[in-house]
Structure 1
Amino acid sequence: MDNASNLKLDSFVQTNTALTENASIYEANVSTKAQADQFASDLEQLLNLKEEADQPVKWLIGEKNAVKKSLIEKLYLLCNGLVCYANSVPNSEILEKASTGKYALRNLSELDLIDFYKQCVGIARQHVADLPPFGPSEESITAVETDGKAFEQKRSDLILLKEDKATARNEFNLLLKKINKLLNGKLDYSIENLRTTHPDFVNYYFAARQKAKGVQRHYDLLGYLKDKATGKAIALGKVSVEGLDLTTHITANGTFRFKHFPEGEHRLIIENINYKTLYVPIRRYASERSKLYLEMEAIPLEVI
């Protein structure tokens, strides 16, 4: 897995730890408990897929190459014996089929090498009684066949292992998207709703969530605003910190961010001309980044 996936997994593991250690806080809430349980189950499957996708292949490549080298050495001797026999008979067909060199054998594709060893073993078995004076024996022919079959098996095992790794990697990426959707679309909101009563747990949870970003740091505090009634993003307005000269604007997509936000307890003042002003208490630790998912209540239109 690449570094980004490993960071994401590390974040998920720590997020799950935060949830497990504080399960008593939210377990009475059926929806939040179900989301946390689903996350834990998906994470376990994700870790298994990672292990499968990260299976090493070098050892099997090494074994396959060692068997291939042995096969080529023995096959070259068998071919020389067949060529000598063909010249003595003479037999131009055997001479054409068996004539080769080590360099040529080494440069055959794996499938061509398999076809070639089978062809030579077949010819040798047809003339086994006449070959001993030229080198090949029943034992040496069997040795070539044994190495050939071992090479085929190692090659097949390697292909299957690579296919399994590729399948696991694809399933990993699909499940990763599913988990991200669960966290970003549901569980993060559910946990954020506990900030008023359990701020330390909420901060702990989101600190774990942010570890997936690695060393990239574009904000200390990030907020998402949506209409309480419609769920649509709230565009424009401003967010300030009570008692501090610290203000930022709400984007057209309903987000706001502070790149540098002081640690400690503060209160955000969120203003939009079409919505009731929102006051949000927040406690932030210097080592964390925080995300807020907030809803604002629209100001009713006056009926004339």
Structure 2
Amino acid sequence: MDNASNLKLDSFVQTNTALTENASIYETNVSTKAQADQFALDLEQLLNLKEEADQPIKWLIGEKNAVRKALIEKLYLLCNGLVCYANSVSNSEILQKASITKHALRSFSELDLIDFYKQIIGIANEHVADLTPFGVSEESIAAVETDGKAFEQKRTDLILLKEDKATARIEFNLLLKKTNKLLNHKLDYSIEILRATHPDFVNYYFAARQKSKGAQRHFDVLGYLKDKDSGEPISLGKVSVEGMDLATHITANGTFRFRHFPEGEHRLVIENINYKTLYVSIRRYASERSKLHLEMEAIPLEVI
């Protein structure tokens, strides 16, 4: 799995821990409990799919290559025996089929090597009674056949393993999207409702949720301001963080931005000479992007 997927999965594990440790808080709420239970099931399946997708294959490639090497060595000796036999009886057909170098054998594709060893085994078995003087026995033929079948099996095992890994990765990505949707559109809202009575648990939950975004870089807080009545952007002014030496300006397009906004719970103070000062509470955790769409109420003009 890539780093982003691993980071998100780690966040899910921590989120599930937060839910499990505080289950007594929400277990009487049928909807929230069902969402939390479904999340736990999805997480277990995600972890299983990750393990399957991350299965190592180098060991199997190594075994396949070792069997291929042994097959080529034995097959080359068998071919030499057949060439000697073909020369002794002037059999040009066998000579043509069995004449080969080690280099040529090593350069064969896997399928070509399989086809070739089967062809040579067939020729050898057909003339086995006459091959003993040329260093070819039933045992040496059987040894080539054994290595050939072992090579085919290793090749098949490797293909199946790669297919299983690819399938697991596809299923992982599909389930990851489904789980994200469950969290973003259901469970997060259900947990947020508990903030008034259980703020520590809710903060713990959302801190775990944000772990998956640790690798992202972006503006921490981005705000859009518009007139409550007209809907037009509010130009200029200042936005500050109450009790901190942190402020930014409102642009001509009615936006403001904070980079590296501090974690925790804070209150924004939004000021414009033509509008009533706006106070906005904001909760922000590590690497969380906050987008605020805010309305300000104009100060009524005095009638003279």
Which range, TM-score by smaller chain?
Answer: 0.7 to 0.9
- Counterpart Cα distance in 2 of 1:294 and 1:84: 86
What is the one-letter code of the residue matched to 1:157?
Answer: D
Alignment of structure 1 residues 59-74 onto 2, 5 Å: 59-74=59-74
Tell me the residue number matched to 2:259: 259
* Residue 26 (structure 1) shift: 1.9
Tell me the residue number matched to 1:37: 37
* Residue 203 (structure 1) shift: 1.7
User: 2:4·2:215 contact (CA, 8 Å) conserved in 1?
Assistant: no
Structure 2: which 5+ residue stretches go unaligned?
226-230, 272-276, 298-304
- Deviations 1:40-70 (CA, angstroms, capped at 9, x unpaired): 1101000000000000000000111111000
- Counterpart Cα distance in 2 of 1:191 and 1:292: 18
Tell me the residue number matched to 1:117: 117
**Structure 2 residue 141 is matched with structure 1 residue 141:** yes
- Deviations 1:10-66 (CA, angstroms, capped at 9, x unpaired): 111111111111222222222222111111110100000000000000000011111
User: 2:248·2:256 contact (CA, 8 Å) conserved in 1?
Assistant: no
Tell me the residue number matched to 2:208: 208
What is the one-letter code of the residue matched to 2:179?
Answer: I
- Counterpart Cα distance in 1 of 2:161 and 2:61: 11
Deviates most, 173-182 or 288-297: 288-297
Determine helix, strand or coil for the equivalent of 1:56.
coil
Tell me the residue number matched to 1:51: 51
User: 2:19·2:205 contact (CA, 8 Å) conserved in 1?
Assistant: yes
- Residues 171/67 of structure 1: CA separation in 2 closer, same or farther (3 Å cut): same
* Residue 261 (structure 1) shift: 3.2
TM-score where L is the length of structure 2: 0.80
Deviates most, 12-21 or 216-225: 216-225
- Counterpart Cα distance in 2 of 1:294 and 1:190: 21
Tell me the residue number matched to 2:107: 107
- Residues 235/211 of structure 1: CA separation in 2 closer, same or farther (3 Å cut): farther
What is the one-letter code of the residue matched to 1:160?
Answer: L
Deviates most, 68-77 or 25-34: 25-34
- Counterpart Cα distance in 2 of 1:193 and 1:224: 25
Tell me the residue number matched to 1:78: 78
- Counterpart Cα distance in 1 of 2:190 and 2:147: 61
- Counterpart Cα distance in 2 of 1:235 and 1:142: 87
- Residues 235/60 of structure 1: CA separation in 2 closer, same or farther (3 Å cut): farther
Alignment of structure 1 residues 287-298 onto 2, 5 Å: 288-289=286-287
- Counterpart Cα distance in 2 of 1:35 and 1:196: 20
What is the one-letter code of the residue matched to 1:137?
Answer: S
- Counterpart Cα distance in 1 of 2:256 and 2:30: 31
* Residue 296 (structure 1) shift: 9.0
Structure 1: which 5+ residue stretches go unaligned?
226-233, 272-276, 300-304
User: 2:71·2:148 contact (CA, 8 Å) conserved in 1?
Assistant: yes
Tell me the residue number matched to 1:4: 4
TM-score where L is the length of structure 1: 0.80
What is the one-letter code of the residue matched to 1:189?
Answer: Y
Q: Percent identity?
A: 81
User: 2:248·2:257 contact (CA, 8 Å) conserved in 1?
Assistant: no
What is the one-letter code of the residue matched to 1:61?
Answer: I
Deviates most, 94-103 or 198-207: 198-207
